[in-house]
Amino acid sequence: MLDMALALTASAVALAAGVSAWRLHGRVQQLQQQLQTLARQQQLQQQSISGLTAGAVGMDRRLRRTEATEKLLNDRQETIENQQSAEQPYSHAIRLVQQGASVQRLVEELSLSESEADLIVRLHGLRDSA
């Protein structure tokens, strides 16, 4: 009878060990699936980071081109403004002459030399039709 009890106990222990092994195997498979899922997520995140990095590099290049274009346009605008400011006394003088201003008025108001004022009056002054 003792042999039977030992055999029964051994069978129970073996059954319990089998059940535990089966549960452990199931848990190992579950953990392996989780590990694969995490590995896929990590790969997707690395791809996303690579894409973002490439996008940032491209954006940096476009920003540099835009800044260079802005500098070029600012330089051109400054050049045009300088030209206009240099021409402004003459264009103002021409308008005054077209309104009937004299050489003396141009010299006094615009600080032009008498020869400059005389030339502007001759070129742009009102002509008599008589």
73-87 residue pLDDT tens? 999 998 888 777 666
Query: Residue 90, exposed/middle/buried by CB under 10 A (0-12, 13-18, 19+)?
Result: middle
Q: Is 104 a residue whose pLDDT tops 80?
A: yes
Q: What letter represents residue 60's amino acid?
A: D
Its pTM surpasses 0.75 = no
**Angle formed at CA 63 by CA 59 and CA 65, multiple of 5 degrees:** 120
